[in-house]
Amino acid sequence: MSKVREYINETVTEMVHRVTWPTWKELQANTIIVVVASVIIALIIFGMDFTVGITGDKDSTWKGILGFIYKMF
């Protein structure tokens, strides 16, 4: 049990005294970067899915490029 208590005390000491936490401005800037990058990646994936014809609706008139190719054969 003493080893568990020692581990917890060392963890608290490290988190409070040794970790360099970002400032509020750094945190906000990094959060904005992550949100913008996530939106851009989501839009790219949506565009690729829509172009290929993955819409989730089987009755959709848009079948994408693959639907066009399959229709030719």
Number of domains in the chain: 1
Angle at 26 between CA 24 and CA 28, to 5 degrees: 70
Position 15 in a domain: no
Contact between 59 and 47 under an 8 Å Cβ cutoff? The reply is no
24-52 helix and 64-72 helix, angle to the nearest 10 degrees: 10
Q: pTM to 2 decimals?
A: 0.63
Position 7 in a domain: no
User: Range of 38's domain?
Assistant: 21-72
Position 52 in a domain: yes
Residue pLDDT tens, the chain, 73 long: 899 999 999 999 999 999 999 999 999 999 999 999 999 999 999 888 888 777 666 676 667 777 777 777 7
Write out the two tokens for 68: 């066009």
Confidence (pLDDT) at 66? 72
Position 6 in a domain: no
